[in-house]
């Protein structure tokens, strides 16, 4: 069997989120970190996801990285391409969603794609083209305060129209209710009117099933991970995908347990508090201001972790802090420097502690995950069982480690409150 789906994801945890839903739909998935320089083993793989860092970088870099990923995925024989972005449509008026989608369409030589950001099980739904997070419109969900991509408009037709010179249309829920064939005809009718991007409503999983049926033969689809769970059934109907018994089967996990958290999102803060309450003495707080002073906080964190690992007890090392503390650190050090210090500290801890026997590692935060995965020199991840919607266990092979490293990369706002505790239980 050849690769059925090739995906281009604009961040690391977003890539893993899509991969997780594809596994749940019955596909065997590998996530690669950037365009591979040495060919990964793609035997017994149905979908490959290229994880990029293209969400908030300059538009030119995002489009050229995405096109390079597209070329590589086409070389692997991918039948359909999926451009994965955030379920909260994280972007600015400059991009990068519109320009990347346009560049991919141009390169593929096709005239239309769909935009399906919804991920209903995690509360991201779209109605009449308006994006909701839970019961709030996007612009009232907290995302209006995002430091890099503040989302101040929930009307996605309007949002995307500012990012592309092409026409943007809508497939609303009333249309989806007519079924997959009618929706496909609607998309064709919009294409005849030169509507290049179609924002699609989706309030629940049945809407995503209809959209998957309507779009399975489109060369390019775009969206959040929700559509990824619905597409595999359609691939099977097309005869492109066999029934796979355990698509998320990984090798048994082994080694010490460690959580590294650089996420300051609301969900992560609650997860850190919950873990500390359940495991008194299991946490060590990093502080960027102390790291900047060079007063040995990193060495103390390492010593703390060694002590926990010797007792075979899980350790949590976190820079996660409430908005006031984060603001204070950013005011003193600058946003970039504060973030960099934390990312470096956490990724160097990961490298040292994986060398010393950590084999089960949870990382919270998209940027943080990117930094840790890069520092560990990981080039590919095999996707396993889901811990919570959007977050699976994965496994990577490392040159200096005989058994594979089990790794969970958690998006800031994903996961139940007891995520850090349950992650290890799921693995057991
Ligand atoms: N105490 C702190 N003060 C200042 N910056 C911090 C602090 N703790 C973490 N950071 C930085 O904040 C950023 C958090 O981004 P990250 O993407 O890792 O988490 P997130 O935004 O919650 O996750 P996601 O992108 O998946 O939603 C990182 O650059 C991290 O280094
Ligand atoms: O789609 C989502 O919400 C996530 O996969 C993500 O991209 C968060 O950064």
Protein residue with least CA distance to atom 3, ligand 2:
87
Can you give the pLDDT at residue 380? 95
Is the model's pLDDT at 104 over the cut of 80?
yes
In three-state secondary structure terms, 288 is helix
Which runs of E-coded beta strand occur in 61-187? 80-84, 113-116, 124-127, 130-133, 136-137, 167-171
* Average of per-residue pLDDT across 340-366: 96
Can you give the pLDDT at residue 328? 95
Can you give the pLDDT at residue 276? 97
49 CB under 6 A from ligand 2?
no
406 CB under 6 A from ligand 2?
no
pLDDT band at 425 (very low <50, low <70, confident <90, very high): very high
Ligand 2 atom closest to 413 (CA): 8
pLDDT band at 399 (very low <50, low <70, confident <90, very high): confident
The answer to whether 253 and 359 are in contact (CB under 8 A) is yes
Please state, in angstroms and rounded to a whole number, the distance separating the CA atoms of residues 310 and 317: 16
pLDDT band at 209 (very low <50, low <70, confident <90, very high): very high
CA of 54 to the centre of ligand 2 (A): 13
Can you give the pLDDT at residue 146? 82
Burial class (CB in 10 A: 0-12, 13-18, 19+), 82: buried
370 CB under 6 A from ligand 2?
no
If you write DSSP's letter for every residue of 301-363 in order, what string do you get? HHHHHHHHHHTT--EEEE----HHHHHHHHHHH-HHHHHHHHHHHHHHHHHHHHHTTEEEEEE
pLDDT digits (tens, 9 = 90+) for 124-175: 999 999 999 999 999 999 888 887 889 999 999 999 999 999 999 999 999 9
225 CB under 6 A from ligand 2?
yes
- Per-position b or e across 364-399, b if 16+ CB within 10 A of its CB: bbbbbbbbbbbbbebbbbbbbbbbbbbbbbbbbbbe
CA of 177 to the centre of ligand 1 (A): 40
Protein residue with least CA distance to atom 14, ligand 1:
263
- What is the number of the ligand closest to the CA of 413? 1
14 CB under 6 A from ligand 2?
yes
Record the tokens describing residue 162, joined without a space.
Answer: 């500012």
Taken in order 241, 242, 243, 248, the sign of the CA dihedral is: negative
CA of 294 to the centre of ligand 2 (A): 34
* Average of per-residue pLDDT across 20-32: 97
pLDDT digits (tens, 9 = 90+) for 263-317: 998 899 999 999 999 999 999 999 999 999 988 999 999 999 999 999 999 999 9
As a whole number, the mean pLDDT across the chain is: 96
pLDDT digits (tens, 9 = 90+) for 28-64: 999 999 999 988 999 999 999 999 999 989 999 999 9
Please state, in angstroms and rounded to a whole number, the distance separating the CA atoms of residues 32 and 29: 10
CA of 296 to the centre of ligand 1 (A): 21
Please state, in angstroms and rounded to a whole number, the distance separating the CA atoms of residues 421 and 259: 10
366 CB under 6 A from ligand 2?
yes
Can you give the pLDDT at residue 1? 55
Is the model's pLDDT at 71 over the cut of 80?
yes
Phi first, then psi: what are they for 130, rounded to 5°?
A: -100, 130
56 CB under 6 A from ligand 2?
no
Protein residue with least CA distance to atom 7, ligand 1:
319
50 CB under 6 A from ligand 1?
no
* Average of per-residue pLDDT across 329-352: 95
Give residue 342's Cα distance to chain centre.
20
- What is the number of the ligand closest to the CA of 148? 1
159 CB under 6 A from ligand 2?
no
pLDDT band at 402 (very low <50, low <70, confident <90, very high): confident
* Average of per-residue pLDDT across 167-184: 98
- What is the number of the ligand closest to the CA of 364? 1
Q: How far apart, in Å, are the Cα atoms of 350 and each of 54, 365, 374, 377? A: 24, 14, 11, 11
Question: Would the pTM count as exceeding 0.90?
Answer: yes
Question: Which one has a higher pLDDT value, 395 or 335?
Answer: 395
- What is the number of the ligand closest to the CA of 323? 1
* Average of per-residue pLDDT across 178-194: 98
Ligand 2 atom closest to 117 (CA): 1
CA of 409 to the centre of ligand 2 (A): 11
Pocket test for ligand 1, best of 133, 264, 271 (most atoms within 8 A of CB): 264
* Average of per-residue pLDDT across 119-124: 96
Please state, in angstroms and rounded to a whole number, the distance separating the CA atoms of residues 256 and 308: 9
Protein residue with least CA distance to atom 4, ligand 2:
14
């Amino acid at each position: 069997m050849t690769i059925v789906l090739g995906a281009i994801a604009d961040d690391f945890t977003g890539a893993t989120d899509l991969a997780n839903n594809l596994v749940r739909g019955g596909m065997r998935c590998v996530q690669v970190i950037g365009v591979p320089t040495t060919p990964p083993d793609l035997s017994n793989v149905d979908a490959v996801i290229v994880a990029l860092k293209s969400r908030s970088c300059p538009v030119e870099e995002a489009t050229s990285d995405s096109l390079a990923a597209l070329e590589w995925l086409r070389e692997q024989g991918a039948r359909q391409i999926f451009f994965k972005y955030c379920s909260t449509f994280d972007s600015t008026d400059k991009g990068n969603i519109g320009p990347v989608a346009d560049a991919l369409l141009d390169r593929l030589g096709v005239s239309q794609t769909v935009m399906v950001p919804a991920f209903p099980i995690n509360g991201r739904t779209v109605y009449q083209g308006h994006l909701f997070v839970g019961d709030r419109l996007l612009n009232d969900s907290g995302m209006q305060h995002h430091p890099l991509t503040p989302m101040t408009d929930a009307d996605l037709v309007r949002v995307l129209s500012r990012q592309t010179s092409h026409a943007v249309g809508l497939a609303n829920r009333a249309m989806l209710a007519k079924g997959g064939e009618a929706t496909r005809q609607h998309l064709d009718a919009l294409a005849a009117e030169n509507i290049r991007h179609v924002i699609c409503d989706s309030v629940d999983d049945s809407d995503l099933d209809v959209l998957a049926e309507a779009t399975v033969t489109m060369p390019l689809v775009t969206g959040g991970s929700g559509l990824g769970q619905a597409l595999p059934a359609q691939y099977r109907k097309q005869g492109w995908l066999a029934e796979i018994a355990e698509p998320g089967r990984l090798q048994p996990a082994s080694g010490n347990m460690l959580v590294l958290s650089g996420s300051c999102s609301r969900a992560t803060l609650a997860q850190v508090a919950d873990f500390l309450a359940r495991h008194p003495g299991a946490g060590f707080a990093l502080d960027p201001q102390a790291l900047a002073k060079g007063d040995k906080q990193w060495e103390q964190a390492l010593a703390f972790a060694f002590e926990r690992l010797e007792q075979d007890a899980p350790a949590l090392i976190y820079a996660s802090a409430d908005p006031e503390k984060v603001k204070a650190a950013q005011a003193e050090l600058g946003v970039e420097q504060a973030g960099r210090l934390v990312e470096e500290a956490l990724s160097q801890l990961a490298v040292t502690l994986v060398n010393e026997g950590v084999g089960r590692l949870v990382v919270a935060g998209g940027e943080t995950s990117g930094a840790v995965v890069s520092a560990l020199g990981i080039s590919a991840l095999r996707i396993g069982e889901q811990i919570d919607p959007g977050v699976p266990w994965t496994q990577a092979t490392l040159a200096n480690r005989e058994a594979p490293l089990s790794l969970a990369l958690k998006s800031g706002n994903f996961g139940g409150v007891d995520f850090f505790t349950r992650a290890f239980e799921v693995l057991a």
